[in-house]
A and B are shown apart, each in its own frame.
Chain A
Amino acid sequence: MITFTEPNEQVIKEEKLYADMGLSDQEYDKVVEILSRQPNYTETGIFSVMWSEHCSYKHSKPFLTQFPTTGEHVLMGPGEGAGVVDIGDDQAVVFKVESHNHPSAVEPYQGAATGVGGIIRDIVSIGARPIGLLNSLRFGELTESNNRRLLRGVVAGIGGYGNCIGIPTVSGEVEFDRSYDGNPLVNAMCVGIIDHDKIQKGTAKGIGNKVIYVGLKTGRDGIHGATFASEELTEESESKRPSVQIGDPFTGKKLMEATLDAIRQPELVGIQDMGAAGLTSSSAEMAAKGESGIALHLDQVPVREAGITPYEMMLSETQERMLLVVEAGTEDKFLSMFENYELDSAVIGEVTDTDRLELFFHGEKYADIPVQPLSDEAPVYILEGAAPAQDESDHQYGDHDLNEVFDALVGHPTHGSKRYIYEQYDNQVGANTVQKSGFGSGIVRVEGTDKAIAMAIDGKSRYVYADPLNGGKEAVAQTFRSIVSTGAIPLAMTDCLNYGSPEKPEIYHQLGESTRGMAEACAALSTPVVSGNVSLYNESKGTILPTPVIGMVGLIEDVNFMADLKIESGDAIYLVGETEKSFAGSQIEKLIDNDIKKQVRHIDLELEYARGMDLRTRLINKEVKKIAPVGRGGIAIKLAQLAAFHQLGIDATLDLDGEDLFAENASRYIVIAPSGQKIKDGKEIGRLTDEGFHIAARNLTIDRSTETISSIWEGAIPQCMTSVD
């Protein structure tokens, strides 16, 4: 008989060992109430991860329920591994975004790599073949060597996993701001394609059906990862490096192919990936969804080394693992299939009629917990938010040297070329990438069809900080603009809510207001939320800016129209939408004031929708050749990026004050089309030329050679990365 030395029930209570695992006194009391006795060590661990913010959304649930989650195309909304949206012809797109912020802060390569691996398994566990990866990253300024180290590691980790598993990374976005010093954000999104009849759910049903484990052998890595992800980062976090999981994309690739094979078998009942909280959350959630009990025989779990305790097994976050429920009697078929893929697999339990999660190790019972309360009765906290004081003073930039501002912004890593990053990602494997990173959203063709999926990810944290309600709307609207700019009809979205500690009233206020704004925008722009993730307690040297990140997909019915759209010298440039003196949260404000004024921002969602859909139609009708939403840095920066990326000159004259070229109000686009087009709310402002970047405003002239613009823009990140650490 193997025995493990673990603290007993009394010691756990008296020495408050549950607090070290992340449970509060009240939560511990609730566990005692549910069990009608004191929990043992394994049970305490299981409750602590299931009730962590990461798994239970205990601080964010009330906000998430605001989001519209249904729509004419939605086949499956939040609650499963990922959302599923119809694209016609019995096919659907499956997608989700997830954060891996805390692990990436302490171990950037593995933190980012496992973030990518985890989100891929979410998509695969639905039954979909992944066709594209995206990422949204935030770091402190690259003038700090630690931020350069983090960028280098995170980018290598994302590439290391995605390149090896063979899914193209087709789009992304990154921003550098001192609020992310020591607390980088790494949000990874995966998009897959599935046939309607293959959609799987993570459910454990049918008394006597077998539970199969497949994938990497369980080790001691990542124990309490979900709890770690729900705490503030401190100097002690470094000591939690063992909480960071290690990725193995080679096994991930084999597991992906094996899973897609398993899903074709009619005897498969349910499947879920072992992500955060590993075996605990996958088994408990599957049992809860199937309204069944589950019994696991942990001595059957493939392990990396002897002596791993049930507690460690249940809390390990070893990567590249899946949990399946299959019809009794068919388990050998699955085991031999997995053997052919050279993967470890084993029958580790069965579905029961007890409604309890029961864990055995060599016959001895280590846990006996009612499933429903464990999975669904996590405490929900509703706290008090506090609105910060507003600052109504005007921004004054007219007296500054705006030519200097222009050079500084074009050459800042946030606005400069991201080539340093995206050239480390295989963006064409699969041979269906129509548009890759560089300028605009990712576009991937659906294999064997003329359809394509447009995919974009974006976040506008400075706007959210300035005005949480309208900033939340703008975050959704900005991503909507990116999607319509490809000619796609936006279908639905996923979100990752990255905030500081919800226990701080101002942060709680940001969370509440910004999600309310997002929900309004989702409804107005017809992009329901089908999946999402929450990352709170992003606090290191300070609190991060409130950073809701939006991932969105859209459908292009026939992508071949793009072949005819090449912009060239002589084409006219249009500005669509009125420019307002909107500087709260802008990049010029960051550069000159090094601050964000808390002021109301404006966005008209009805106008946003109408304008976006009108331009989209014009693009697929080939009336216009290119649409580029105006974003960070305003008109001046968008024109500079356009000139530098396409190696063209620009000659434009705007009837605006010079500083307004850097204003960042919503709902504006730069459009390239033949001269003389009538575009609603659009003004022709100039032409593309062969050479020379020339913009004139009322009291400002910017004159550069195309080559100068290109070299400032291209050098923005490399210049920082080559400086001596």
Chain B
Amino acid sequence: MKFAVIRFPGSNCDRDMLNAIIKAGGEAEYVDYRETSLSKFDGVLIPGGFSFGDYLRSGAMASVAPITSAIKEAAADNKPVLGVCNGFQILTEIGLLPGALIFNDTHTFISRNETLTITNNETPFTSQYEKEESVVYPVAHGEGHYYCDDETYAQLLKNNQIVLTYTDNPNGSRNDIAGIINENGNVLGMMPHPERALEALLGSDDGMKLFERMTEWEAEHDYIH
């Protein structure tokens, strides 16, 4: 499996993301945001950071970058697409995931290790985790409050699209939502950083199973029941 790590100006977790997927046994290359094709890749990783300085609104400028249509094509081709932190914000901005990320309720940046629950272990990303498994991933964001309207929330519940929730909600996210997946099960977005949770020495290795699973990607159609 060969992954593209998308680099926008202002991305700053690009190296961490590349290192993570390689450590898990995958191949990876950086792809500049001015590129227009991702056809030679089997999966797409959108790293955290402050794409275009998060000026205007986080993820907003990235959503009109040349690479965006290629990301949408990859998603439509059933390739795995993972967006972490700023990557999650971009996925909501370009409409691959529903809802939006707004300012933390405290209106301050929050950086700490967060305990999370894997609420859906039936996705092709999370099937190595136990159901309701408790994991620790770091969070580091200023705009991480997941917001959606009632109708969207009902859809998320009905389709079992909520993958990850906070134990001690740091930002005011609706119903503790930390990560969601698309209906098709191949586009996952989350605010916490699994790529920073690969070694016990650094505080947690709970993210490893996510990346390992991605390197053995087999799209499971209709996984949502």
Q: Which residues of A contact B (CB under 8 A)?
A: 156, 159-160, 163-166, 248-251, 253-254, 341-342, 422-434, 445, 559-560, 562-563
B198, CB-defined interface residue at 8 Å: yes
Q: Which residue of A lies closest to B198 (CB)?
A: A431
Q: Are A426 and B53 in contact (CB under 8 A)?
A: no
Give chain B nearest CB distance to A254 CB in angstroms.
6
Q: Are A423 and B112 in contact (CB under 8 A)?
A: yes
Contact among A250, A341, A423, A428 with B193 in the assembled complex (CB-CB below 8 Å): A428
Q: Are A253 and B201 in contact (CB under 8 A)?
A: no
Q: Are B196 and A431 in contact (CB under 8 A)?
A: yes
Residues of chain B within 8 A (CB-CB) of A422 are 111
Contact among B9, B12, B50, B193 with A342 in the assembled complex (CB-CB below 8 Å): B9
Q: Are B9 and A166 in contact (CB under 8 A)?
A: no
Q: A166-B12, A423-B111 are in contact. Are A431 and B53 (CB under 8 A)?
A: no
Complex interface residues of chain B between 154 and 197 (CB less than 8 A to chain A): 193, 195-196
Can you identify 16 A-B contacts, CB atoms within 8 angstroms?
Answer: A163-B111, A164-B53, A165-B12, A166-B12, A166-B50, A250-B54, A250-B55, A423-B110, A424-B111, A425-B109, A425-B111, A429-B13, A429-B196, A431-B16, A431-B195, A431-B196
Q: Are B202 and A431 in contact (CB under 8 A)?
A: yes
Q: Are A428 and B9 in contact (CB under 8 A)?
A: no
Contact among A156, A253, A430, A434 with B10 in the assembled complex (CB-CB below 8 Å): A253
Q: Are A433 and B202 in contact (CB under 8 A)?
A: yes
A163 vs B144: C-alpha distance in the bound complex, in angstroms?
Answer: 14
Q: Are A426 and B50 in contact (CB under 8 A)?
A: no
Contact among A248, A249, A423, A559 with B201 in the assembled complex (CB-CB below 8 Å): A559
Q: Are A163 and B193 in contact (CB under 8 A)?
A: no
Which of B12, B55, B110, B198 lies at the interface centre, i.e. has the most chain A CB atoms within 10 A of its CB? B12
Q: Are A426 and B140 in contact (CB under 8 A)?
A: yes
Q: Are A250 and B10 in contact (CB under 8 A)?
A: yes
Chain B interface SS verdict (over half): mixed
A425 vs B108: C-alpha distance in the bound complex, in angstroms?
Answer: 10
A342 vs B32: C-alpha distance in the bound complex, in angstroms?
Answer: 13
Q: Which residue of B lies closest to A559 (CB)?
A: B201
The 10 closest A-B pairs by CB, nearest first: A166-B12, A250-B53, A426-B140, A431-B16, A164-B50, A431-B196, A424-B109, A426-B111, A428-B138, A563-B201
A427 vs B193: C-alpha distance in the bound complex, in angstroms?
Answer: 12
Residues of chain A within 8 A (CB-CB) of B10 are 164, 250, 253-254
Q: Are B198 and A248 in contact (CB under 8 A)?
A: no
Q: Are A253 and B9 in contact (CB under 8 A)?
A: yes
A339 vs B28: C-alpha distance in the bound complex, in angstroms?
Answer: 26
Residues of chain B within 8 A (CB-CB) of A163 are 50, 109, 111, 140, 142
B19, CB-defined interface residue at 8 Å: yes
A423 vs B200: C-alpha distance in the bound complex, in angstroms?
Answer: 21
Q: Are B108 and A156 in contact (CB under 8 A)?
A: yes
A45 vs B111: C-alpha distance in the bound complex, in angstroms?
Answer: 44
What 15 new A-B contacts, CB under 8 Å, besides A430-B15, A431-B195?
A156-B109, A163-B109, A163-B111, A163-B140, A166-B13, A250-B55, A341-B9, A342-B9, A423-B112, A424-B109, A428-B140, A428-B202, A431-B202, A434-B202, A563-B201
Q: Are B50 and A250 in contact (CB under 8 A)?
A: yes
Number of B interface residues at 8 Å Cβ cutoff, please give it: 31
Complex interface residues of chain B between 19 and 51 (CB less than 8 A to chain A): 19-20, 48-50
Q: Are B16 and A430 in contact (CB under 8 A)?
A: yes
Q: Are A249 and B109 in contact (CB under 8 A)?
A: no
Which of A341, A423, A425, A562 lies at the interface centre, i.e. has the most chain B CB atoms within 10 A of its CB? A423
Q: Which residue of A lies closest to B111 (CB)?
A: A426
Which of A250, A424, A432 lies at the interface centre, i.e. has the most chain B CB atoms within 10 A of its CB? A250
B217, CB-defined interface residue at 8 Å: no
Q: Are B16 and A164 in contact (CB under 8 A)?
A: no
Which of B9, B54, B203 lies at the interface centre, i.e. has the most chain A CB atoms within 10 A of its CB? B9
A393 vs B198: C-alpha distance in the bound complex, in angstroms?
Answer: 58
Q: Are A434 and B201 in contact (CB under 8 A)?
A: yes
B147, CB-defined interface residue at 8 Å: no
A51 vs B176: C-alpha distance in the bound complex, in angstroms?
Answer: 57
Which of B9, B109, B112 lies at the interface centre, i.e. has the most chain A CB atoms within 10 A of its CB? B109
A342 vs B193: C-alpha distance in the bound complex, in angstroms?
Answer: 28
Give chain A nearest CB distance to B132 CB in angstroms.
25
Q: Which residue of B lies closest to A450 (CB)?
A: B201
Q: Are B200 and A563 in contact (CB under 8 A)?
A: yes
Q: Are B54 and A164 in contact (CB under 8 A)?
A: yes
A562 vs B16: C-alpha distance in the bound complex, in angstroms?
Answer: 22
Q: Are A428 and B111 in contact (CB under 8 A)?
A: yes
Residues of chain A within 8 A (CB-CB) of B195 are 431
Residues of chain A within 8 A (CB-CB) of B20 are 431
B52, CB-defined interface residue at 8 Å: yes
Q: Are A249 and B9 in contact (CB under 8 A)?
A: no
A249 vs B112: C-alpha distance in the bound complex, in angstroms?
Answer: 22
Q: Which residue of A lies closest to B197 (CB)?
A: A431
Residues of chain A within 8 A (CB-CB) of B198 are 431
Q: Which residue of B lies closest to A426 (CB)?
A: B140
A447 vs B203: C-alpha distance in the bound complex, in angstroms?
Answer: 16
Q: Are B52 and A250 in contact (CB under 8 A)?
A: yes
Residues of chain A within 8 A (CB-CB) of B15 are 430
Give chain A nearest CB distance to B169 CB in angstroms.
15
Which of A166, A248, A445 lies at the interface centre, i.e. has the most chain B CB atoms within 10 A of its CB? A166
Q: Which residue of A lies closest to B49 (CB)?
A: A166
Residues of chain A within 8 A (CB-CB) of B54 are 164, 250
Residues of chain B within 8 A (CB-CB) of A342 are 9
Residues of chain A within 8 A (CB-CB) of B201 are 434, 559-560, 562-563
Q: Are A429 and B55 in contact (CB under 8 A)?
A: no
Q: Which residue of A lies closest to B32 (CB)?
A: A340
A559 vs B49: C-alpha distance in the bound complex, in angstroms?
Answer: 27
Q: Are A254 and B109 in contact (CB under 8 A)?
A: no
A422 vs B111: C-alpha distance in the bound complex, in angstroms?
Answer: 8
Q: Are B12 and A424 in contact (CB under 8 A)?
A: no
Residues of chain A within 8 A (CB-CB) of B49 are 166
Give chain B nearest CB distance to A395 CB in angstroms.
40
Residues of chain B within 8 A (CB-CB) of A254 are 9-10
Q: Are A427 and B111 in contact (CB under 8 A)?
A: yes
A250 vs B61: C-alpha distance in the bound complex, in angstroms?
Answer: 13
Q: Which residue of B lies closest to A343 (CB)?
A: B9
Which of A156, A164, A559 lies at the interface centre, i.e. has the most chain B CB atoms within 10 A of its CB? A164
A224 vs B53: C-alpha distance in the bound complex, in angstroms?
Answer: 28
Q: Are B16 and A426 in contact (CB under 8 A)?
A: no
Residues of chain B within 8 A (CB-CB) of A248 are 53
A553 vs B49: C-alpha distance in the bound complex, in angstroms?
Answer: 27
Complex interface residues of chain B between 121 and 146 (CB less than 8 A to chain A): 138, 140, 142
A430 vs B48: C-alpha distance in the bound complex, in angstroms?
Answer: 11
Residues of chain B within 8 A (CB-CB) of A156 are 108-109
Residues of chain A within 8 A (CB-CB) of B142 are 163
